[in-house]
Amino acid sequence: MFLTIVYYLKWLFSYSDYHIASRTVSWYGHHTVRSMWFKPPRDARDLTVDIEYYVNNKRYRYMTEDPDYRWPPEQSHATGMRYRPPIRRVWTLDEDDKPIEDVTEIYREYSGPRGDTPFPAHKVFPSVKKLKVTDVLNNSDVVNLLGEEEPEVSKVGDVVL
């Protein structure tokens, strides 16, 4: 029994690839299924797929509204060199652009190990109207979550060289 625990801990702390811990599918706002293989009905509205996964023993979450999503998320292949400075702070803002709450850890959890995974910010932060994202170079972007089109939160701080 003791050796089993030791081998399990050794495996747990040495795993370096994507490891899915759980997958939750929700639709219509009140139907929820926790399953790795469940496919929601085709006519489902308000669909959300939430995957909790680990990379190098650090927990991340992937959320999408697409029933035909690809796992793991695809890399963006842009032309030229691209540099994304690490995010230092993410704040929720009120109507007067005054900071309310620090949500940096939640943002990092959903933006993935490289910080470039897109996610539906209006589902992750449902009661928030604006986010202020500041990187380590002190560049700040204010993202309006209630705009006409869905905001590209994952592209904040991109520098194309």
Over residues 96-130, the pLDDT tens digits come to 889 999 999 999 999 888 887 888 888 888 888 88
Domain that holds residue 150: 82-160
Please tell me whether residues 54 and 92 are part of one structural domain: no
Please tell me whether residues 57 and 94 are part of one structural domain: no
Judged by phi (left if over 0) then psi (alpha if -120 to 50, else beta), residue 129 lies in: alpha
Please tell me whether residues 113 and 139 are part of one structural domain: yes
57 against 87, higher pLDDT: 87
Q: Mark out the alpha helices in 1-92 (DSSP H runs).
A: 2-14
Handedness of CA 58, 64, 69, 75 (dihedral sign): negative
Tokens describing residue 39: 């496919």
Q: Which amino acid is at 51?
A: I
Q: Residue 20's beta-bridge partner residues?
A: 53
Please tell me whether residues 49 and 7 are part of one structural domain: yes
pLDDT in the model for residue 102: 93
Total domains, the chain: 2
Please tell me whether residues 17 and 57 are part of one structural domain: yes
Q: pTM for this structure?
A: 0.73
Q: Are 89 and 134 in contact (CB under 8 A)?
A: yes
Nearest Cα to 134, choosing from 113, 103, 109? 103
Q: Does residue 70 sit within a domain?
A: no
pLDDT at 14 over 50: yes
Q: Does residue 154 sit within a domain?
A: yes
CB atoms within 10 A of CB 6: 10
